[in-house]
């Protein structure tokens, strides 16, 4: 279960390094920082299966929206699939 949570968090954090990373950092820098903190302590978080499933669905939806976006280019999303 922790691996699934780590995968979701790392997938979102990978967006920060894309071509639009500076733009994203400008508007979501604090959130990226929070996600990095959560990633460091993921094994200490208590989550239920429903929470993980909801997070996976939300991450997949975010990726789909970004992949379909014409305003931004996210090279790290090419072929990206949550596992």
Please provide the DSSP assignment of 26-44 as one string.
HHHHHHHHHHHHHHHTGGG
Nearest to 37 by CA among 13, 65, 11: 13
What pLDDT score does 22 carry? 72
Nearest to 80 by CA among 68, 64, 69, 57: 64
Average pLDDT over residues 51-77: 81
Render pLDDT for 22-58 as a digit per residue (tens, 0 to 9). 777 788 889 989 999 999 999 998 999 999 999 999 9
pTM for the whole structure? 0.76
What pLDDT score does 20 carry? 65
**Residue extents of the structural domains in the chain:** 2-77
Secondary structure letter of residue 1 according to DSSP: -
What pLDDT score does 50 carry? 96
Higher pLDDT, 79 or 6: 6
CA pair distance 46, 77, nearest whole angstrom: 29
How much is the mean pLDDT over the chain? Answer: 83
The pLDDT of residue 79 is above 70: no
With both helix axes pointing from N to C terminus, report the angle between 2-14 and 49-67 in degrees, rounded to the nearest 10. 20
């Amino acid at each position: 279960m922790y691996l699934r949570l780590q995968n979701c968090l790392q997938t979102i954090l990978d967006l920060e390094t894309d071509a639009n990373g500076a733009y994203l950092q400008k508007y979501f820098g604090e959130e990226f920082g929070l996600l990095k903190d959560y990633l460091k302590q993921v094994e200490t978080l208590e989550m239920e299966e429903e929470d993980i499933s909801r997070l996976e669905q939300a991450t997949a939806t975010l990726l789909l929206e970004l992949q379909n976006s014409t305003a931004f280019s996210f090279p790290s999303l090419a072929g990206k699939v949550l596992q």
